[in-house]
Amino acid sequence: MIDYSFLQHYWWFIISLIGGIFAFLMFVQGGQSMLFSLGKEDKHRFLMVNALGRKWEYTFTTLVTFGGALFASFPLFYSTSFGGAYWVWMLILFCFVIQAVSYEYMSKPGNTWGKKTYQVFLFLNGLLGTFLVGVAIATFFTGAEFAVNKGNIANLGVENVTGVVISQWQNPLHGLEALGDFRNWCLGFAVFFLTRTIACLFFINRLDDQELVARSRKFLIYNALPFVVFFLVFVIWTLLSTGYSVNPETKAIIEGVANKYFWNLVELPVVGIVFLIGVVLVLYGIIRTILSTSFTSGVWFSGVGTVLTVCALLLITGFNNTPYYPSSVNPQSSLTLQNSSSSEFTLTAMFYVSLLVPFVLAYIIYAWNALEKKKFKKEDLKEDGHVY
């Protein structure tokens, strides 16, 4: 039962799940992007920063885990996309580097660059980080410009030293060309507004500050609407678009498959249903919060919904004989679960490691609850002792 193909699919599922959890946890970034709009006064910014500052490491660590899991399970993606779409990934990394110090340094004497600088760092992380992650993930559907030739490494006589490199990006913009496709922008904006939407729901759930909660409710509407629009445009466009497929016998890439992603949802009914439940949960969390001022648990509905929706979307990029990272310039180079994965041995070893994940989740939930027994207000912060 646990054969190579199962393991490849299992690991794509784990990647998709981590991706889904990451999308939800990026509410931290969404909240940061509203630091100067939702947080109009210093006292509001103070509360927002401290509420988000207790969560940012989960998001950050999830991103690192996403990278590590991809490296261990699909190393050809690691070498092709990171080494090729250099600028997109580098910009994303910069956005996260500047975040990592900002909470801790923001209010400390001697921080040299001033509180405002670190707040701007957080804002940039929220604005660009979310958008670019969306754009990068969109290329799993819209394709990227690369060619892979594993034989290159045996090229001894080449003039150019980079001739030995297996994965060759074909566009000199090294990833920034993804901004030339409006569909990528749509997912970028959808992720950006989604993370802000969830951040509003998080503030409504966590904060004990009437004014800020009231503003969060307003901001919820401003952000949920564009989110829904961009999300729908991206999803409908994608479901109607032509995609690639993998011939399960020859492993060759078949081009021009009409409505490929739509059929993936239909032919993988469980994924299709998870996708629909996810979307409904996201919308339920948003709409009920908008309609009822006493309802504050929207973040959990929309949060779980986000995990399910994003997980399902990532699953249909790779399952059902689909190349998850299509090459638009050299279709046969497209990355599939089969041609890009680690060996069966490594995937098996990592399978056992993945059994630790429930323990990790258990202590995260414990820690989250331990710190969140009561709502978050200014007075408690002093008592807790570590204030940003």
Partner 1 sequence: MEILNSSLIDWSRAQFALTAMYHWLFVPLTLGLGVIMAIMETAYVRTGNEQWKRTAKFWMNIFGVNFAIGVATGIIMEFQFGTNWSNYSWFVGDIFGAPLAIEAIVAFFMEATFISIMFFGWARVSKKMHLAATWLTVTGATLSALWILVANAWMQYPVGMEFNPDTVRNEMADFWAVALSPVAINKFTHTVASSWVFGAAFVAGITAWYMLKKREPEFTKQSMKVAAIFGFVGIVLTAWTGHGSAQQVAEKQPMKLAAMEGLYDGQEGAGLIAFAIPNPDKKSYDDGVDPYIMKIEVPKGLSVLGFSDFDAFVPGITDIIKGGYKDYKGDVQLSFAEKQKAGKKAIQALADYQTAQKDRDAAAAEKNRVILKENYAYFGYGYLDNPDQLVPHIPLVFWSFHVMVYLGGFFGAFFLLLWFFNYKNKLENTKWMLWISIISVPLVYICSQAGWLVAEIGRQPWSIQDVLPLQTAISALSVESVKITFFIFLILFTALLVAEIRIMLNQIKKGPKAE
16 makes contact with partner 1 (CB under 8 A) = no
CA dihedral 253, 326, 313, 176 (to 10 degrees): -170
174 makes contact with partner 1 (CB under 8 A) = yes
Bridge partners (DSSP) of residue 146 are 169
Of 2-10, 155-163, 217-225, 306-314: span binding partner 1 (CB under 8 A): 155-163
Q: Which is nearer to partner 1, 124 or 274 (CB)?
A: 124
111 makes contact with partner 1 (CB under 8 A) = yes
- 315 exposure class (CB count in 10 Å sphere: 0-12, 13-18, 19+): buried
H or E, element range at 202: helix 182-206
Running DSSP on this structure, what letter comes out for residue 336?
-
Shortest reach from residue 163's CB to partner 1, in Å: 8
Q: What phi and psi, each to the nearest 5 degrees, are found at residue 293?
A: -75, -15
For the segment 269-288, give every residue that binds partner 1 (CB under 8 A). Answer: none
Of 99-107, 217-225, 265-273, 312-320: span binding partner 1 (CB under 8 A): 99-107
86 makes contact with partner 1 (CB under 8 A) = yes
Residue 278 in contact with residue 308, Cβ under 8 Å? Answer: yes
For the segment 327-346, give every residue that binds partner 1 (CB under 8 A). Answer: 342-343, 345-346
Of 157-165, 198-206, 219-227, 230-238: span binding partner 1 (CB under 8 A): 157-165
- 160 exposure class (CB count in 10 Å sphere: 0-12, 13-18, 19+): exposed
CA–CA dist 17, 15 (Å, integer):
5
SS3 256: strand
Look up tokens 């500050």; give the residue.
Answer: 209
CA–CA dist 281, 273 (Å, integer):
12
57 makes contact with partner 1 (CB under 8 A) = yes
Shortest reach from residue 248's CB to partner 1, in Å: 18
169 makes contact with partner 1 (CB under 8 A) = yes
69 makes contact with partner 1 (CB under 8 A) = yes
Q: Which residues, at least 6 apart from 381, have a Cβ–Cβ distance to it below 8 Å?
A: 50, 387
Among 240, 252, 266, 349, binds partner 1 (CB under 8 A): 349
Q: Which is nearer to partner 1, 301 or 325 (CB)?
A: 325
250 makes contact with partner 1 (CB under 8 A) = no
25 makes contact with partner 1 (CB under 8 A) = no
Q: Which is nearer to partner 1, 54 or 260 (CB)?
A: 54
CA–CA dist 347, 370 (Å, integer):
35
122 makes contact with partner 1 (CB under 8 A) = no
2 makes contact with partner 1 (CB under 8 A) = no
Among 5, 43, 90, 267, binds partner 1 (CB under 8 A): 90
- Polymer length in residues for the chain: 388
Q: How far is CA 135 from the centre of its chain?
A: 10
252 makes contact with partner 1 (CB under 8 A) = no
Q: Which is nearer to partner 1, 210 or 383 (CB)?
A: 383
Residue 29 in contact with residue 59, Cβ under 8 Å? Answer: yes
4 makes contact with partner 1 (CB under 8 A) = no
For the segment 358-387, give every residue that binds partner 1 (CB under 8 A). Answer: 360, 363-364, 367, 370-371, 373, 380, 383-386
Q: How many helices (H) and strands (E) does the chain have?
A: 17, 4
Among 10, 72, 181, 328, binds partner 1 (CB under 8 A): 72
22 makes contact with partner 1 (CB under 8 A) = no
